[in-house]
Structure 1
Amino acid sequence: MSTLVIYSTLTGNTRKIAEAIYEVISGEKKIADVKDIINIDKLEKYDKIIFGYWVDKGDADERIKKIMEKVKNKTVGAFGTLGAEPESEHAKKCMEKVKEFLEKNGNKVEREFICRGAIDPKLLDKFRKIGMSGHHASTPENERRWAEAAKHPDENDCENAKKIFKGF
């Protein structure tokens, strides 16, 4: 059984989680690869694929979605990183969108995971400069949330991802 852990990353957060998942899968003596989407080749040679994404506008980023849409009728897993709390409604809705997207091509989503990750500093600068409103406004509460997100993914996040994907 061969497994691919494929990920898209903007700040390195998703790569960190991908490498943790790869560590647990490859340690189980399975044939496994971990690749950034820029290094992807033949997806059909893998029995299982685990997709890693960063959340963009409440969904998986477009680069990984282009790869996801090519995969049909496989057992898959998905994991993501985002600036919000992983227990939030925002995170749950994002995971549900990703699951539905993968299932529409006949894939069976066997495992899912999401955790906090640092937000791209360029994006935070944009939020602050153009005076975003609502969820992205530069309020004291959001500044606190963004500072907390900057500490992730941490070792605990990596260990939690390993637990979820162990045995995949």
Structure 2
Amino acid sequence: MSYAIVYSSRTGNTALLAKTIREILGEEACVYFGPPDAQALAAQTVYAGFWTDRGTCDEEMARFLQSLTDQAVFLFGTAGFGGAPAYYGQILERVQANLKESVRLAGTYMCQGQMPQAVRTRYEGMEDSPRRTAMLSNFDRALGHPDAGDLERLRQAVTR
């Protein structure tokens, strides 16, 4: 079975997940690895990775997902805010809305990803409030993610 790994990664978090999937599956049946590109459409299964942009995938990945026709797709992604499976579920629903009915969803995986220091600096500049405190706390919890536990859970999701 041929596969492609297509990913969009702004900070390297989703790229780490993509590289881990390639290690899990091996390179023999991999027909494409990289950013969204029509070359990936030749694969029977597409592993499509994204970073979360305003509660969904970025526009480039959305366009790519809309171009899929009859492949199986495994969606994986990272989000700066994490810890709540319901939140990840909402993101995945929005991302799945880009898929045609003929595309079969083979699986999903999401985890928290660390954010750039500029985000923390922006949060620190906000007016003191419970929201600011929560955002700073989440930023600090995200440091180091995806971590070894995240990658093991990804491995389990891919090999199911």
- TM-score (ref. length: structure 1): 0.83
Letter in 2 for 1:79: F
- Show structure 1 runs of 5+ residues with no match: none
User: In the TM superposition, what is the alpha-carbon distance from 1:142 to its structure 2 partner?
Assistant: 1.9
2:14 is paired with a residue of what secondary structure?
A: helix
User: In the TM superposition, what is the alpha-carbon distance from 1:22 to its structure 2 partner?
Assistant: 1.3
Q: Partner residue of 1:72?
A: 69
Percent of aligned positions with the same letter in both sequences?
Answer: 22
Q: Partner residue of 2:103?
A: 107
User: In the TM superposition, what is the alpha-carbon distance from 1:125 to its structure 2 partner?
Assistant: 3.2
Distance 2:107 2:147 in 1: 20
Give deviations 1:1-44, integer Å, cap 9, x for gaps: 110111100110001111111111117xx502562316x35123
- Show structure 2 runs of 5+ residues with no match: none
* 1:54 and 2:48 matched: no
Q: Partner residue of 2:113?
A: 117
Contact 2:72 2:105 in 1 (8 A): yes
Q: Partner residue of 2:92?
A: 95
Distance 1:53 1:66 in 2: 12
Q: 1:118 to 1:109 in 2, by over 3 A?
A: same
User: In the TM superposition, what is the alpha-carbon distance from 1:49 to its structure 2 partner?
Assistant: 0.3
What is the RMSD computed on CA atoms of the aligned residues?
2.4
Distance 1:149 1:33 in 2: 33
Letter in 1 for 2:72: T
* Dislocated runs of 4+, deviation >4 Å: 132-135
User: In the TM superposition, what is the alpha-carbon distance from 1:105 to its structure 2 partner?
Assistant: 4.8
User: In the TM superposition, what is the alpha-carbon distance from 1:106 to its structure 2 partner?
Assistant: 2.0
Q: Partner residue of 2:34?
A: 36
Letter in 1 for 2:138: R
User: In the TM superposition, what is the alpha-carbon distance from 1:127 to its structure 2 partner?
Assistant: 3.9
Distance 1:122 1:105 in 2: 39
Distance 2:124 2:62 in 1: 28
